[in-house]
Structure 1
Amino acid sequence: MSDAIINGVAGAGGGIIAQLITYPLQTVNTRQQTERDPSKSSSNSKDGTLNQMYQVVKQEGWGRLYGGLTPSLVGTAASQGVYYYFYQIFRDRAELASLARQRKGIGDGSLGMLQSLVVASLAGSVNVLLTTPIWVIVTRMQTFKKKKKALQKHPLPSVCSEGRTVVAEPSRYGIFDVIKELYDEAGLLGLWKGVFPTLIMVCNPAIQFMLYEAMLKKLKKDRASNMKGAEGLTAVEIFLFGAVAKLGATFATYPLLVVKSRLQAKQSLHLDARHQYRGTWDAITKMIRYEGILGFYNGMGTKIVQSVFAAAVLFMIKEELVRAARFLLTRSVVARSNSSKSKQSR
């Protein structure tokens, strides 16, 4: 089994576990990002996040904190699997190129920060193009707001807004409902809404991996060891490195994440023009005009807690799974070798 496959499967497993642990925070954060009215935007403090979680449970039930969990888990497994698979492939090729340059007397044979950034960006771009439809569906399901039970017994009638009929939100909102809604809005391209800022957001995991690899490289140098990758590190060290790397990447790219979520969320017809976006640039200019720069940082406190913790858990579990897989494969090879020698001796 190749290193790329091992890393891909381990990344998918780590991502699923991290997602399960932090999903309620992710749901609340997506709602904070897509809130158009500055007066209703949740505070970035811990109390604001907890209060919004309480309000979701009180008004819509516990289930809404896990709205879109199924496609999200599928998306996480696919995204992490695709990302780590292609990351390892691109990294292996970059390392071979670096070793080739070393033989010519150029460099020390290791990857620099810029090379790590390029490798991570390429892997991220492939991942975005393949998995964006899944995340558009997840965003729609996370931002769907279920009506109170009392109102569900007596559904709200359709209302008229600017000559258009707007039907009240359904109480059930599944994957196929979202797909149909997106197709009705923009055809097949509706599944790739927000892909442009998402491609730019590739710099988030790229910066994250650049910082992560830089910290690993420095630690290896300090220890003067012959470790490869993260081998030899404790789970706690990997957890802390993953957390610090994600923290830096989140600070740098959060405004793009808010724009992406705004484009992917459903834009109700009854909203006025300032809350409807025709594209990435239109969303950016309207947010600056009507919400100010702070609008780009809605829910950042929640995101930092959720993403940093999730990334740290993902890195820790992924590296442990890679280590376990390599150990099992090595033991299997040794066992087959011993068995072959035993048969030959007979």
Structure 2
Amino acid sequence: MSDALINGLSGAGGGIIAQLITYPLQTVNTRQQTERDLKKEKRKLGTIEEMCQLVKREGWGRLYGGLTPSLVGTAASQGVYYYFYQIFRNKAEAASLERMKKGVGDGSVGMLASLWVAALSGCVNVLLTNPIWVVVTRMQTHTKTSKKIQPDQSQMLSVDPNETILAASELPPYGTNHAIQEVFDEAGVWGFWKGVFPTLFMVSNPSIQFMLYETMLKKLKKRRALNRKGNNGVTAVEIFLLGALAKLGATIVTYPLLVVKSRLQAKQVSTGDKRHHYKGTLDAVLKMIRYEGFYGFYKGMSTKIVQSVLAAAVLFMVKEELVKGARFLLTKDASAVKSKPL
């Protein structure tokens, strides 16, 4: 089994576990990002309060709306990303060693090369898996509009402020097939690549994340090797903390792009207030600046930081442990084969 395949499968496994742990936070955050109520006087709900209201109105199941395609998307995204990341990383390392033989550099992959490796891997991942995330966003933000609750009975939480949420008992099932059909009816096949341009720009998030992670990990291993006379082992807890710090920095820088992407992938309001209908990336950016100000680009950021940092930390920790376990098993098997008598 190749090193790239080991990293790809380990990344998929780590991503699934991280997704299962943090999915309710992700659902609430997607709703916060796509909420388009322009009334300044509306009280801002906290993450826990908004989660409780969502459960009260629509049931516990809504916290896990779109979980199945999300798990598929996470496994596919992390698998594709780590697979191509390792391939590109191996090529970058080989190029660095060639330059060292010519007397240029120390043979290690620099920060700029790490950034390019992560960016290329991210672009491949986005182009292959964007349709899955369009469906997931639809399922996370889906609300019903038929039998209305009176406005004074509850504070409404909806993608479209003109829509009203049904009581939990009145919600008919809304599954993956419904979301796929809805996207196709709106924009055809190209509808599954809505938000792909801001998402391509969003590859800077994992690029920055991996650049920070690899840089911090490299420095930690170097320091550990000096202190422990060649032993540069890193613990799972240290991997967890490095992953969290790397993701925190990347999320703060790129969060506005994530909000624009979610707005484009959520169901568009084709009738009524045109301020809520986005024709494309530029139109979304301009309307958000005009009607919501720059605050609109940071809706739900506190929730996202908690969710993404926790998810990234768990992903890095689990992925590294899976890689170690796979390599140990493969090495053990190889040793057993070599030692087996004829």
Give me the TM-score of the superposition, normalised by structure 1: 0.88
Separation in 2, partners of 1:28, 1:280: 23
Separation in 2, partners of 1:111, 1:272: 51
Counterpart position of 2:115: 117
Deviations along 1:25-53, one digit per CA (max 9) or x if unpaired, are 0000000000111438774xxx7111110
* TM alignment of 1:40-55, pairs within 5 A: 43=44, 48-55=46-53
Separation in 1, partners of 2:245, 2:145: 39
Counterpart position of 1:32: 32
Counterpart position of 2:142: 144
Counterpart position of 1:245: 246
Give aligned pairs, total.
Answer: 321
CA deviation after TM superposition for structure 1 residue 182, in Å: 1.2
Counterpart position of 1:207: 208
* 8 A contact 1:60–1:147 mirrored in 2: no
Counterpart position of 1:85: 83
* TM alignment of 1:144-183, pairs within 5 A: 144-146=142-144, 171-183=172-184
CA deviation after TM superposition for structure 1 residue 284, in Å: 0.3
* TM alignment of 1:259-298, pairs within 5 A: 259-298=260-299
Q: Which amino acid aligns with 1:90?
A: F
CA deviation after TM superposition for structure 1 residue 175, in Å: 1.2
- Residue 308 of structure 1 pairs with residue 309 of structure 2: yes
Deviations along 1:8-65, one digit per CA (max 9) or x if unpaired, are 000000000000000000000000000111438774xxx7111110111000000000
* 8 A contact 1:182–1:191 mirrored in 2: yes
Separation in 1, partners of 2:50, 2:197: 30
Distance 1:39 1:83, change over 3 A: same
Percent of pairs with identical residues? 71
* 8 A contact 1:59–1:148 mirrored in 2: no
Stretch moving more, 84-93 or 215-224: 215-224
Stretch moving more, 131-140 or 47-56: 47-56
* 8 A contact 2:216–2:242 mirrored in 1: yes
RMSD of aligned C-alpha atoms? 2.2
CA deviation after TM superposition for structure 1 residue 217, in Å: 1.3
Deviations along 1:314-345, one digit per CA (max 9) or x if unpaired, are 00000000000000001000111111xx22xx
CA deviation after TM superposition for structure 1 residue 232, in Å: 1.8
Q: Which amino acid aligns with 1:110?
A: S
Gaps of 5+ in 1: 152-165
- Residue 108 of structure 1 pairs with residue 109 of structure 2: no
SS of the residue corresponding to residue 224 of structure 1 reads: helix
* 8 A contact 2:224–2:233 mirrored in 1: no
After TM superposition, which residue ranges in structure 1, 4 or more long, deviate above 3 angstroms? 38-43, 146-151
SS of the residue corresponding to residue 105 of structure 1 reads: coil
* TM alignment of 1:176-191, pairs within 5 A: 176-191=177-192
Separation in 2, partners of 1:123, 1:149: 46
* 8 A contact 1:235–1:320 mirrored in 2: yes
Separation in 2, partners of 1:64, 1:223: 46
Q: Which amino acid aligns with 1:28?
A: V
Deviations along 1:119-145, one digit per CA (max 9) or x if unpaired, are 000000000000000000000000002
